[in-house]
Amino acid sequence: MPDRIFNFSPGPATLPQEVLVQAAKDIVNFNNKGIGLIELSHRSKEFMAVADEAEKLLRELMAIPDNYKVLFLQGGASTQFAMVPMNLLSKGQKASYLNTGTWAKKAIKEANLIAEAHVAYSSEESSFNHVPKNGEYSVDPAAEYLYFVSNNTIYGTQFAEFPKSEKMLVCDMSSDILSRKFDIKPFGLVFAGAQKNMGPAGVTVVIIRDDLLDRAPATVPTMLRYKTHADKDSMFNTPPCFAIYIVGLVCKWLKANGGVEAMEKRNKEKAAILYGMIDSTDFYRGHAQVDSRSLMNVTFNLPSPELEAEFIAQAGKEGLDGLKGHRSIGGCRASIYNAFPREGVLALVDFMKRFEKANS
């Protein structure tokens, strides 16, 4: 087995090799200061510089205007399912949600505990194999925002174009943030767990428009208020220091490799290679409808569950790891996030050809 396998895991996902090498050094001795990065006080000037640079790079890469706060929070993206309505809705208010997968469904459940979630669209009856086009759903006129998940890791679907609405948009971008350019101005809030495209598990990035910080009802607990963290530059309590540091390193890597625009081009090329293989044969069948296909998570099936199990096992022996589909739908899934190399996609396609020939 080689030192580095190809990691198709949906998250925690593969990170750039140079980021891992640098992090390994800095854990032991950060900037030759005789102390490891994960031992630094979060209030030290050294770590404050780390956090400031991570925020600065995110703002630059995503073209985030000054009237948005960038927060580094804990609790994973799942905590945001509740924090969003807790901060943006009061009792009796409602928001519209697009139900396009497991994570949207969980967010709807949390919102209904706090206010009212109006389900403007659902693709559940078709096993979440597509996302809606503009015009295929109706946002409640009384809704405070329209919530959607930009990329659905489990089902391999993605919004090629973001929804358009007179209401402000709120988006869970956990699995495709930094993978393509977009205009953040229609969004009131964007959040993303880091462990797909930005870094390790442990930090969730929240980008929130300034005017929304004072909307939380007085009953919202201190730690669950965005304003608490915005007022203290994410340092109200000890933040996930190591994860923030890795986000900064990944952003440096991304900038050095052409930024988001260049990464979007590479992501499209990688996905085209893999989908091309799937479309060239009846042996492999994609789960997502063609116009809803994800550039990040490619989901597919083989003729039988038994063949799928054998495919996953043999692929693992060849250093192609993490191809098992989510337990809720089975099948196979290849996650090819920003840091996943083109060479890994080519290696998978080669294996798919050989496996099909041996089992047809």
Q: Which of 103, 176, 253, 270 is catalytic?
A: 103
Q: Which of 196, 253, 270, 324 is catalytic?
A: 196
* Number of Cβ within a 10 Å radius of residue 222: 10
Q: Which of 26, 69, 167, 172 is catalytic?
A: 172
Nearest to 145 by CA among 178, 115, 109: 115
The verdict on whether 25 is a catalytic residue reads: no
The verdict on whether 103 is a catalytic residue reads: yes
Q: In whole angstroms, how large is the CA radius of gyration of the chain?
A: 21
Residue carrying the six token digits 């994973």:
76
Asked if 184 and 66 count as a contact pair (C-beta separation under 8 A), the reply is: no
Give the sign of the dihedral formed by CA 180, CA 185, CA 186, CA 187: positive
Tokens of 153: 């890791």
User: Exposed (0-12), middle (13-18) or buried (19+): which is 113, by Cβ within 10 Å?
Assistant: exposed
The verdict on whether 196 is a catalytic residue reads: yes
Give catalytic residues, as residue numbers.
103, 172, 196
